[in-house]
Chains A and B, each alone.
Chain A
Amino acid sequence: MKDKRIDHAGAAAAFIADAPHLAFHDERLWDMRQKRDAQMHLLPEWQELRTLASQIKEHALANLPEYLEQFEENATRNGIRVHWARDGAEHNRIVAEILQARGATTLIKSKSMVTEECDMRPYLAARGITVTETDLGERIQQLDDQLPSHIVVPAVHKLTGDVARVFATHYGTDPKADDPRQLAEAQRQAARPVILHADAGMTGANFAVAETGTFVVCTNEGNADLSATVPGVHIATLGIERLVPRLSDLGVFVRLLSRSALGSPITQYTTHFRGPQDGGEMHVILVDNGRSARLGMADFWTSLKCIRCGACMNTCPVYRRSGGLSYGAVYSGPIGAIIDPTFNERKYSTLPFASTLNGSCTNVCPVRINIHDQLYKWRRVLVDHHQMPFVKREIMHMAGKLMGQPRLYRAAISGTETALGTLPRFALYNWLNPWGRHRELPHPVKETFHAWYRRNRSAPGAADTEKTKTDPTKTGRTKDTGQ
């Protein structure tokens, strides 16, 4: 498959060029990070909770087949219909079948990353089923035909004026009325009739409990509860990694989730779904869609621990300055950059490089995913799989050769032994040129440290070179200092 590589750098540059959006986006997400810090400081056991959460998830993932079957058995006993979907296509077909069997043509739903992953809305639309997102941010993104830019706050890259324009186009409201309360009210007025008359409702799930066969949905707007309860038919779709073994495990995860995500102690609604309402139906679709394969990846399986809190996005200085859409994927930010390549290596091959490897994401992750280590490891995998653009690959190859040969290296940088003349030729051309677009170059200097040392401390250093040269050493190379 020859998909085009996502141009994260280009999309990020465009995002940065828009000063008001950039400033709001950075401040808003940094504020969430700070609120998260404040919550962390209130809980002396915070790091212990992270460790517990990580251990529970690792245990659940290591025993996933057993827990999935346990869940299925208990959920079925509760009157829930459990479906298994190998991939997105199977998931969408199952949803369509459930709806078509009941003659349903309208589906209301609250946000679910899995349905985005499966690209479900277009599939259902083509079969005459109207899907309406009920969560404010997700609805804005649906109307604007964009992916969510953030796992938790999907329209965070938009200013109120942007929302006003979207609503004006689709709801006929005043494009200049950008008061957030008015906008929320416009959405409420537009959504409530749809909710009341929908044929079926759909939600995701944050956690599924194996021992009880129940699942939990955490939201702040309460639309998931409307979607789940008003129509009478509730379809919950969830990735197989949502499983936790015991109900008591939720005491760990629920405490971490909203504190990490928004910096609030708990979401407004934490709803436990235990079975269908009287006369109603409840379906759970367990979606694999690449997860089993990921579980088999020695360096990357722990990314399945993710509870989708978005803390890594909020803290990520790159994400805050590039916006979620620049990742061109369902999952953006640091967690997206380590998950997305499992869906399509070539298309998402640039994402693990959209990071400074600063490590802040790993520190905030409530389930202790070593995100920045995985970014580092993905780079190796992508290079090994020939997914690095040719020019950069060649530069690294040349640099690597040069750095292994001191005499050549010195010759390359010593044409003048000064200033920018010391930059090796490869550094002056093409790929490295962007440095100067928004930055000055380093100042010229009279001589390198190497030259200074030879002038001022020459004797011992010269001896060192000789020693190195005549000693082949354990690493097995014979010509060390010159070829």
Chain B
Amino acid sequence: MKVGLFVPCYIDAFYPRVGIATLELLERLGQQVDYPLGQTCCGQPMANSGCNSDAAAAEALFVRNFERFDAIVMPSGSCAHHVRDHFDAIPQTDAVRHVRTHTYELVEFLHDVLQVGDFPWAEFPHTVGLHNSCGTLRALRTASMSELGEPPFSKPMGLLSKVRGIRFATPARPDECCGFGGTFSVAEEAVSARMGLDKVRDHHDAGAEYIVSADSSCIMHQQGCAERAGIPLRFIHIAEILNGARE
């Protein structure tokens, strides 16, 4: 299987270690991974803001970069959601349809496609609070949602529970949105920052040392809120833990 790695723009710029961990993890798992150097963004920021026509160039570029892969993997739920469910600023050619139906968020890819049974190199002797982004939770459905009363399941928790020494903290409102929301984070900065503050407090009160998430955008926002409020939490992407990060 030829795997194309997409590293979202904010991970590229602010969390390169998440991109590195994703790449190394996929390689450890025996995947042949390419990172097309001509990539930029999936188009989500423009499309989510209603400016769908402005997403067309990014979407077309994305297709050109990734149409030749059997699987397109990205350490971001919201980008995967965009490509899979909203990627319609450009004509729906065979190439576009291929890309949309072969795009995976990292956790889904590990859990559903590779069906990874264990991560023998991974050990993380810390208490973590899992933050499921709304993209992974309610769009990609990688975990059960509290509003639906469905039988509990969690793909990210399934993967993390294979990591030696890890412990979990359970916040009071586990699947409340953290308030990032893309451009919402600046257009509605007061609400966004307040939601983020409430989110990190909830995890901290539950005893978490780390917040772990499959989305670095939520992490970027929550980390900013925690640091401003002086809440001693650390933040880590699930790829880093699964790749054997030690601290």
Contacts and interface: CB of A to CB of B under 8 A. Distances in A.
A442 B191 contact: no
A12 B188 CA distance: 8
Contact of A452 (B20, B183, B190): B20
B49 interface: yes
Interface of A: 8-9, 12-13, 16, 22, 26, 30, 37, 40-41, 46-47, 315, 317-318, 321-322, 352-360, 362-364, 376, 378-384, 388, 392-393, 396-397, 399-406, 409, 413, 422-423, 431-435, 437-443, 445, 447-454, 457, 460-462, 464-465, 467-469, 471, 473-475, 477, 480-481
Contacts of B181: 355-358
Contact of B95 (A449, A450, A473): A473
B116 interface: no
Interface of B: 7, 9-20, 23, 34-41, 43, 45-46, 48-58, 60-61, 63-65, 67-68, 86, 90, 93-96, 134, 138-139, 145-149, 173, 175-177, 179-198, 220-221, 223-225, 227-228
B197 to A, nearest CB: 7
Please name the 3 residue pairs, one residue from A and one from B, whose CB atoms are nearest each other, closest first.
A404-B57, A400-B54, A379-B50
B50 A380 contact: yes
Given A30-B173, A358-B138, 5 more contacts: A318-B179, A359-B139, A360-B177, A382-B50, A453-B19
A434 B186 contact: yes
A403 B147 contact: no
A264 B236 CA distance: 40
Contact of B223 (A8, A404, A435, A442): A442
Contact of A409 (B40, B55, B64, B147): B40
B contact patch SS: helix
A440 B77 CA distance: 23
Contacts of A40: 149
26 contacts: A12-B190, A41-B149, A317-B179, A322-B191, A356-B134, A356-B184, A358-B177, A378-B50, A382-B50, A400-B46, A400-B56, A403-B9, A403-B46, A403-B58, A404-B61, A409-B41, A432-B186, A437-B190, A440-B228, A442-B223, A445-B15, A453-B23, A461-B36, A473-B63, A474-B94, A477-B60
A439 B221 CA distance: 8
Nearest to B90: A475
Contacts of A439: 193, 196, 221, 224-225, 227-228
Contact of A380 (B52, B138, B173): B52
B194 A16 contact: yes
Contacts of A462: 37
Most buried by B among A37, A363, A399: A399
B228 A438 contact: yes
A359 B193 contact: no
Nearest to A11: B190
Nearest to B89: A400
Contacts of B41: 403, 409
B147 A453 contact: no
B68 to A, nearest CB: 8
Most buried by A among B12, B68, B220: B12
A367 to B, nearest CB: 14
A9 B194 contact: no
A474 B93 contact: yes
Nearest to B216: A442
B184 A422 contact: no
B36 to A, nearest CB: 4
A449 B12 contact: yes
B15 to A, nearest CB: 8
B57 A435 contact: no
Contacts of A437: 189-190, 193
B51 A473 contact: no
Given A360-B147, A379-B50, A474-B94, A469 B38 contact: yes
A435 B224 contact: yes
Contacts of B7: 449-450
A41 B147 CA distance: 10
Contact of B64 (A37, A41, A435, A473): A473
A358 B138 CA distance: 7
Given A321-B195, A360-B177, A406-B40, A400 B55 contact: yes
A362 to B, nearest CB: 8
Contact of B134 (A357, A381, A480): A357
A376 B51 CA distance: 11
Nearest to A361: B147
A376 B86 contact: yes
Contact of A438 (B68, B86, B146, B190): B190
B242 to A, nearest CB: 17
Nearest to A475: B60
Nearest to A432: B186
Given A363-B138, A439-B193, A461-B36, A404 B176 contact: no
B239 to A, nearest CB: 12
A404 B37 contact: no
Nearest to A442: B14
A401 B188 contact: no
A363 to B, nearest CB: 4
A37 B146 contact: yes
B34 A461 contact: yes
Contacts of A464: 34-38, 65
B63 A318 contact: no
B234 to A, nearest CB: 12
A327 B9 CA distance: 33
A8 B227 CA distance: 27
Contact of B35 (A41, A382, A457): A457
A401 B40 CA distance: 11
Contacts of B48: 357, 376, 379
A13 B190 contact: yes
Nearest to A319: B191
